[in-house]
Amino acid sequence: MVIENNFSLDHVDLAILRLMQENARISNVDLAKALDLVPSAVLERVKKLEKKNVIIGYNAKVNPVAVDLKLLAFISMKSAQSFSCNDTASELAKIPDVQEVHVIAGDDCFLVKVRTTDSASLMALLRDEFSKVPNILSVKTTIVLETVKEQQQLVIPQK
Amino acid sequence: MVIENNFSLDHVDLAILRLMQENARISNVDLAKALDLVPSAVLERVKKLEKKNVIIGYNAKVNPVAVDLKLLAFISMKSAQSFSCNDTASELAKIPDVQEVHVIAGDDCFLVKVRTTDSASLMALLRDEFSKVPNILSVKTTIVLETVKEQQQLVIPQK
DNA sequence: CTATATAATAGAATAAAATTCATTTTTATT
DNA sequence: AATAAAAATGAATTTTATTCTATTATATAG
């Protein structure tokens, strides 16, 4: 059964998303001012957006260097189970240092984003964690030399 | 684990980061309770973390499907300027649909993360925007079929 | 078009939280 | 141990969140 994907967001909802994407700690009062509404009305909408899973959560963005996570890497890998590769994927997802796991089209099967302290800790991660994940046939690690842009904000449509 | 950088974060700071990473809209009062501190003390620390650029920002995480961004793709590309490739990178970064731009080691030069409505809009993006970016020699687009994990939270060390 | 149901907003009252600041305590340095 | 610097406390004040009811707007069916 396919659930119809109707979130029915009006332009006020979209404006809320736009504002909260940029500053999740904005007060209801300030939101209300920006939207030309009253705080209670805004609160109701925000709660509804949370309930409808339009807003999935609120995250503080932490500087990776400040917590000694200086290395970013993308790892693409092939799996033995080309289609029912969910075991492999969910095992990868369990590793805390793994930020992203994507099933991809093309030669490989997964693309994984990992953050570690340095190349030594990446090596340790590959040796200690990835080696335990079942059905991995090959691994190709790409080291990030510099991150020019990294934002999670989406382009929210006008209407 | 001792962090050897000049951010000098103690275990209380790290606990704040851990809590705010998971819920950026947590109140100072609740933070204080969790940390066994008084709200004013916590507020001071949070402000200091913001000022020191340890906390870079607070973002609401929006469900991409709810705003009709159903396609995720990674694009790796080669550049004509192999080292002074900053022009190319910053031009790519200007494109709103581009969430990430990384300079990478290896055969290619950049890895770019893009979110669009569908394959047609990705095609339009490549045709209308990427084509204008200077010094791109080749482009390899990888479509994401399914995202198993996608979190920006970092693994905050204990101390 | 109008009656009616439904949803959203306004506005006021109250509870809760944020913020400020003077004082005290803790921590680090000499 | 003396001193300086940093951090925490606690009370007072300002601001915001939250709740609730009345009102307004929107959609739907007859």
pLDDT per position as a tens digit, A94-119: 999 999 999 999 987 999 999 999 99
What's phi and psi for B31, nearest 5 deg?
A: -60, -45
Q: Per-residue pLDDT averaged across B62-66, rounded?
A: 97
pLDDT in tens, A26-84: 999 999 999 999 999 999 999 999 999 999 999 999 999 999 999 999 999 998 876 66
Of A68, A145, A149, the CB nearest to B98: A149
Closest approach of chain A CAs to the CA of B21, in angstroms? Answer: 4
The pLDDT of residue B83 is 66
Record: contact A145-B103, CB cut-off 8 A: yes
pLDDT band at A3 (very low <50, low <70, confident <90, very high): very low
Instruction: Say if A159 is an interface residue toward chain B (CB within 8 Å).
Output: no
- Give the mean model confidence (pLDDT) for residues A5-26: 93
pTM recorded for the entire structure:
0.93
Closest A-chain CA to B76 = A142
Q: Sorting pLDDT into bands at 50, 70 and 90, what band is B4?
A: very low
Q: What is the pLDDT of residue A84?
A: 65
CA dist A68 and A9 (Å) reads: 40
Chain A, 95 to 134: residues with Cβ < 8 Å from chain B are: 96-106, 111, 115
User: Could you read off the pLDDT of B8-53 as tens digits, one per residue?
Assistant: 899 999 999 999 999 999 999 999 999 999 999 999 999 999 999 9
- Distance CA(B98)–CA(B112), nearest Å, equals 7
Query: In the prediction, which pLDDT does A87 show?
Result: 85
DSSP conformation letters of A86-114: HHHHHHHHHSTTEEEEEEESSSSSEEEEE
Which tokens sit at A154?
Answer: 């989406």
pLDDT of residue B85: 59
Distance B68 CA to D28 C1' (A): 28
Q: Is B106 left (phi over 0), alpha (psi -120 to 50) or beta?
A: left
Strand D, nucleotides covered by protein (CB < 7 Å): 7-11, 15-21
Q: How far apart are the CA of A96 and the nearest CA of chain B, in angstroms? A: 7
DSSP bridge pairs for B54: none
Helical segments of B52-150, H only:
86-94, 119-128
Tens-place pLDDT, residues B120-156:
999 999 999 999 999 899 999 999 999 999 999 999 9
Torsion of CA A117, A118, A121, A126, to 10 degrees: 110
Among B49, B78, B154, which would you mutate to test the A interface (most chain A Cβ atoms within 10 Å of its Cβ)?
A: B154
Percent of chain B with pLDDT over 90: 84
- Calculate the average pLDDT of chain B: 93
The set of residues with CB closer than 7 Å to nucleic strand C is: A 12, 36-41, 44-45, 48; B 27-30, 39-40, 43
Mean predicted confidence (pLDDT) in A114-126: 98
The Å distance, CA of B45 to C1' of C19, is 14
CB contact under 8 A, A56 and B56: no
Which runs of consecutive H residues, i.e. helices, occur in chain A? 11-22, 28-35, 39-51, 86-94, 119-128
> b/e per residue, A51-89, with b = 16+ CB within 10 A?
eeebbebbbbbbbbebbbbebbbbbbbbbeeeeebeebb
